[in-house]
A and B are shown apart, each in its own frame.
Chain A
Amino acid sequence: MKLAFPSPEFDDAVASVCHGEADEALCRALNELLRNDASALDEYILRTELHSRLGSDEDLFVPANQLASEETESEELRFRERGDLDSDASPKRQLWWAWGVVAALLALAALGVWQSGIREQAPVSQVGSQAVAMLDRTVRARWADAEKHPVAGDPLEPGWLTLESGLAQIVFYKGARLIVEGPAEINLLAPNHVSVRKGKITADIPSQSSGFRIDGPHASVDAAVANVGFEAEGSGTAVHVFSGQAAVRPGNASAEESVESGIGILVTETGDVQRIQPDGSAFASLYDFHAESSAALALRRDNWEVMGERLNQEESLLVRLDFEQASPSRWELPNLSQSSSVAEKASVIGCQWGRGRWPGKQAIEFQNVNDRVRLDVPGEYDSLTLSAWVRVQGLDRELNSLFMSDGFVEESIHWLLRDDGVLGMTVVGDQPGDYQIVASPPVVELNDIGRWIHLAVVIDGRSRRVSHFVNGQEVDREALMIEPPYRVGPSELGNWSARGFPEDDPFMIRNFSGSMDEFCLFSRALAPEEIEKLYQEGRPDLDLLAFRR
């Protein structure tokens, strides 16, 4: 076989290579041609580049409106609910596979971020990897930008933060901890460097950090291991060294002054340097931070408990588990729903107990391949809503179960997370082989690993649609082809019993890796506002203001 250039045969050959359809003889002929014809090679490179660009640049495509009731192709979704493992038949992954794989590989530590809302266009690969610090907690924080301000747990990228009032604790990735009291304007420059236009800050710089630097309007301070107070205002900049030592450099001076524990330095706007007594009381509010934030937390939790009691009375609530075990040795969880007669309790198999959203709040941890919580919810339902607070530790499996009915029973459901951060709801029809998978865009992202997030899905049999929610926001809505009724039946949180499907097939292993500290199942379709409310009432972040909103 011989190829000429230019020729229709050449065109076809390049196309079939791009599609992965070329056979060996064709590849050989193409190789022969490309090695001997420079212009054919250039043309080939252009064409393959065009092809790979289309496949790797999501920005080229404005995402289609999810609300369009496109026909859902299980093929398209590549969920492989019953896929065999033959690689040729295996589904293609989207290009944002990478983080799932890498995250699983590296079992990422928590350096979390929540980018709320939908990010269809931005691939995961562009998410918050520039962050230098994390907003750890806030108390009564009012930010200048009321719309787009960070909340506790958010990663912070380099740039200005303006805190009008209240307190914020920032943990830098190089180990230093800053508590900032508003009004303050600070510019995060690096994982160990911040500049302050105004404001009051205490910096705790531990030995395992690699030092920290604060630049102020009239002076800068460098410290390796220390606890310092830093106050910048129009008339001058004060540095109080409460422990350790720090090097203070006034304004533009090149000489720095070493300041020992128990000493303070004031650099005035005219550049005068004065020694002062370090004044702990000036920073008292910052030391009250912990007390304040504990109180705020306790309040948050109380609030959640009150809401929980109310929720337990809700008529459509089939199951509510809050994983608040009296003793870890009891492996049964009571169903807290007051109105439901199904699923009196759930059984814990394996699992560990860990920390939930708030100090003292328990969570169940799924770590091992056999960890699961089993329950049985008999009955047929026209609509269902599932809601869970989870902390993902890693997306180790291709499919990671959130809540799945056993096997592939007619009319049952599978709620899961794919390894690329896509939420999936599979609804099985009443005919063999009939099922629909509703897959969101990739919404659980690299930076969500290790954070508490609220996930919910609504299966609305009346208006025949499925909606996925993350942190109270609807991120996907699609038409549902499978008619009601829907069943739950014997099912599992955090795992799946394949029931009759080959157990040794790695694809059948779907255990979740992470924690869950609340789960609700309703027998109706909750409205988006109700889901938003569930999220707002259970938000783990501390800020009292956020909680009053």
Chain B
Amino acid sequence: MVESGKQGDDALERQRFLSLFLRSEREIFRYVAALVPNASDAEDIVQQTAIALWEKFDSYDSTRPFTPWACRFALNKARQWTERRKRWQALLENGLAEEIVARREELKPQLERRLSRLEGCLEKLPEDKRSLVEGYYYKRQTIEALAEASGRTVEATYKALQRVRQSLQMCIEGANRTEGAT
């Protein structure tokens, strides 16, 4: 049985934080991934962001939306993280990070419109392509494992992923067919 005596203010505060954070988690991840697209690196940054958010949670104004507040921290954390990693720093230097963040915000409605078709486009993929995407993005298999499973080289597997993304992109940008997309 759960002992209810443990539910002090502190626990409630943690619960409140967690529920806010977990609701915004994907958004924060995507924001970070716009800067550092490699998923495992982006996740590291989101983790560090989570820690910082919790530490500063008492300064969060609950009348305002959580995600933008969190994303400000995420931007800082991404900056700190790239400072120690030369290639990522080279990618984002000279103000490009800020530019990406700002431009992405402007493009958001457009991105949402296109990406709303993603699920339908995924369903249309041939089986082997779909399982490649699913393996890499959903099951988070390593590229080596995917290569081994398909009998391709690692290089060719990267290439295949790139091509699947391209065809998905063509599909989501496709003519405005009404697909009864939900």
Q: Is A112 an interface residue (CB 8 A)?
A: yes
Q: Distance in Å from the Cβ of A119 to the closest Cβ of chain B?
A: 14
Q: Are B87 and A23 in contact (CB under 8 A)?
A: yes
The stretch among B58-66, B72-80, B99-107 that forms the contact with chain A is: B99-107
Q: Is B181 an interface residue (CB 8 A)?
A: no
Q: Distance in Å from the Cβ of A478 to the closest Cβ of chain B?
A: 13
Chain A residues within an 8 Å CB radius of B40: 20, 92-93
Chain A residues within an 8 Å CB radius of B156: none
Q: Distance in Å from the Cβ of B177 to the closest Cβ of chain A?
A: 19
Chain A residues within an 8 Å CB radius of B15: 108-109, 111, 129, 173
Q: Distance in Å from the Cβ of B125 to the closest Cβ of chain A?
A: 11
Q: Distance in Å from the Cβ of A448 to the closest Cβ of chain B?
A: 11
Tell me the dominant secondary structure on chain B's binding face.
helix
Q: Distance in Å from the Cβ of B163 to the closest Cβ of chain A?
A: 9
Interface string of B83-118 (1 = CB under 8 A from A): 000111011111110011001100100010011001
Q: Are B46 and A15 in contact (CB under 8 A)?
A: no
A30, A60, A110, A125: the one contacting B3 at CB < 8 Å is: A110
Q: Is B23 an interface residue (CB 8 A)?
A: yes
Q: Are B33 and A52 in contact (CB under 8 A)?
A: yes
A28, A50, A134, A450: the one contacting B118 at CB < 8 Å is: A50
Q: Distance in Å from the Cβ of A465 to the closest Cβ of chain B?
A: 19
Q: Are A45 and B107 in contact (CB under 8 A)?
A: yes
How many of chain B's residues have a CB under 8 angstroms from any CB in A? 80
Q: Is B153 an interface residue (CB 8 A)?
A: no
Q: Are A27 and B87 in contact (CB under 8 A)?
A: yes
Q: Are A102 and B21 in contact (CB under 8 A)?
A: yes
Q: Is A247 an interface residue (CB 8 A)?
A: no
Q: Is B69 an interface residue (CB 8 A)?
A: no
Interface residues of A in 123-165 (CB under 8 A from B): 124-127, 129-130, 134, 136-137, 152-153
The stretch among A34-42, A211-219, A224-232, A489-497 that forms the contact with chain B is: A34-42
Q: Are A45 and B103 in contact (CB under 8 A)?
A: yes
Q: Are A47 and B34 in contact (CB under 8 A)?
A: no
B4, B6, B87, B134: the one contacting A64 at CB < 8 Å is: B134
Q: Are B38 and A15 in contact (CB under 8 A)?
A: no
Q: Is B169 an interface residue (CB 8 A)?
A: yes
In the complex, which of the residues B94, B103, B139 has the most CB atoms of chain A within 10 Å of its own CB atom?
B139
When A19-B143, A95-B43, A97-B43 are in contact, do A125 and B50 touch as well, CB less than 8 Å?
no
B contacts, CB < 8 Å to A: 1-4, 6-8, 10-12, 14-15, 17-19, 21-23, 25-26, 29-30, 33-34, 37-43, 46-47, 50-51, 54, 86-88, 90-96, 99-100, 103-104, 107, 111, 114-115, 118-119, 122, 131, 133-135, 137-145, 148-149, 158, 161-162, 165-166, 168-169, 172
List 13 other contacts, CB 8 Å, given A51-B37, A76-B139.
A11-B162, A24-B87, A28-B90, A57-B118, A73-B148, A76-B135, A92-B142, A99-B22, A102-B21, A109-B15, A129-B22, A130-B19, A355-B3
Report 16 cross-chain contacts, Cβ distance below 8 Å, ordered by A residue.
A17-B38, A17-B91, A24-B90, A31-B91, A41-B100, A45-B100, A52-B29, A52-B39, A95-B25, A105-B50, A108-B11, A110-B3, A110-B7, A129-B23, A152-B1, A450-B2
A contacts, CB < 8 Å to B: 11-12, 15-24, 26-28, 30-31, 34-35, 41-42, 44-61, 63-64, 71, 73, 75-76, 78, 91-95, 97-99, 101-103, 105-106, 108-112, 124-127, 129-130, 134, 136-137, 152-153, 171, 173-175, 177, 191, 355, 357-358, 446, 450-452, 540
Give me the 8 closest cross-chain CB pairs, A-B, nearest first.
Answer: A20-B38, A129-B19, A109-B11, A52-B33, A27-B91, A15-B162, A75-B145, A27-B90
